[in-house]
Amino acid sequence: MDEYVDYISQGIAGLINSGAEIIALAANSPHRVINELRNRFDIPIISALDSAYHEAQRLKIRKGLLLGIKFTMQSTFYQERFKEGTIELITPDHQEQEIINDIIFNKFNGQHIDPIAIDTISDIISGYSVDGVILGCMRLPVFFNEQTVAGHNLVNTLDKHIEEILEKAKG
């Protein structure tokens, strides 16, 4: 874990040395070490995880379904952060996680939206009794929105993260 923190820290230090005044941590995987990174640097680190959490609070979600790559769904950093606001996060079962992971890496690309893949994930969502869906992968908001995830509050982590970055950058 220390090597991972050191690796990310090198990138952050390079950005700071180049004049960065804020750091945006957009990828989900590094969030497992966000606290360690924040402890190493005095510069604000804007977190996609925090952005998602703030939106879930605003929407008053009490129980959400976390979608993302298998690593994100099988890690606990989302659940730990959301638990601070008494928001319970659940993840799809193991087989559904495999399906979602395969879709993210093999069916979604910038050129083509696979409607069968979208329907598959929509079917998985409909199998859970939740009041919110957390799109914990930056690719998912491109393919899902309030209309495609009907009946659930939707946390579009990508949009909310961009909004928080812009707010912080404005000062």
- Distance, in Å, from the CA atom of 156 to the CA atom of 171, rounded to the nearest integer, reads 23
In 18-47, which ranges are continuous DSSP H helix?
34-40
Q: What is the mean pLDDT of residues 64-85?
A: 93
Mean pLDDT in residue range 93-99: 98
Spatial separation of the C-alpha atoms in residues 89 and 61, rounded to whole Å: 10
Indicate if the pLDDT at residue 129 is higher than 80: yes
Each residue's pLDDT tens digit, 25-73: 888 888 889 889 999 999 999 999 999 999 999 999 999 999 999 999 9
Average pLDDT, rounded, for the chain:
90
Q: Which secondary structure element, helix H or strand E, spans residue 134, and what is its range? A: strand 132-135
15's tokens: 């950005």
Average pLDDT over residues 82-88: 91
With bands split at pLDDT 50, 70 and 90, how would you rate the model's confidence at 146? low
CB of 64 closer than 8 Å to CB of 155: yes
Q: Provide the whole-model pTM.
A: 0.88
Answer yes or no: is pLDDT of 140 > 90: no
Tokens of 89: 């996060």
Looking at residue 76, its pLDDT comes to 92
Confidence at residue 148, expressed as pLDDT on a 0 to 100 scale:
59
